[in-house]
Structure 1
Amino acid sequence: AAQKAMNIAPGLRRRFAAEHYSFCPPEIWSRQREKALSEIKLDTDFEGVGFDIDPTAVELARVNARLAGVEKRCHFEMADVKNFAPFTDQIVLANPPYGERLGDLDAAAKLAHQLGEALDAHPTSGAYIITADADFEKHFGKKARKRRKLYNGM
């Protein structure tokens, strides 16, 4: 989300095998990379806030934000979802652990319920939840307005 808000092109910080294709001059890649760099918006008002109860996950998020070039626009802290209180104008993106990741289906259901209660108590501009839990809506306490199927690694 931070990269999108800052107009940072996907893949800008990585190299591609196609850069070595004989029919594609290296200066084309250089020119396009320079163009993409010049279009980055440093003055965006985006502010990302992330939290997790696991300190290792929080540190990993900080490292990934630094590697993505968005660390100045993101703040991460250790916190429990039951203390989650987003602001009215915020958009919430969440990927809560579910049974497979958490290892405990009851704990995952409780976490989804707590997230639903927090969002009921603190309405936001929108909430987008990524989950593989088929029963998430039941635990969360409300139906999704729209569902999208995501594919990982395809």
Structure 2
Amino acid sequence: MTADTSPRGRSINDRTNYNGWTRTGTFYAHILSIKPVDHGLQAMVCEGNYSLMTNTPEGAWKNFGTRVPRATLIDLAPGPDGATDRTRTAGGADRAPRTDMFGGWTITRHAFSTRNYNDALACVDKFPDPPETRPTRINERFTAPYPTLPPFPGWPTSPS
């Protein structure tokens, strides 16, 4: 039996970046709500990719995202012990965690839309840049990318 492959010739379980383009800039996320569900927790998250850019084959930079944020749903399941009440300090200067900060919790689903226009409207003002100053010209080319801002709240250098 052979492994299932996508039209790109990759295994369907390959979760790597599929297009190989460099992305740089800052991706924003804002948690609108978290609620308990049968399998753990469900978070409604505003995602703003308006400050991301890709490098083109010609060496220029272009906008990757859109100025309109989207509301997404992320389902989380607790670890094997089922504990749902542990917390850890999540602030710091590191860009990524150095150890397991999630205590076994896993993401079981990431729906890229809530399919509810009112959820999307609730996201509009949840980011540091007002909507009118976000990039709007998706086809415009730039000689340098947008800056990558420090992570906020970031990750601790040593877990607590």
What TM-score do the two structures reach when normalised by structure 1?
0.23
Higher relative contact order at CA 8 Å, sep ≥6: structure 1 or structure 2? Answer: 2
Q: Going by fraction, where is strand more abundant, 1 or 2?
A: 2
Q: Going by fraction, where is helix more abundant, 1 or 2?
A: 1
Q: Which structure's CA Rg is the greater one? A: 1
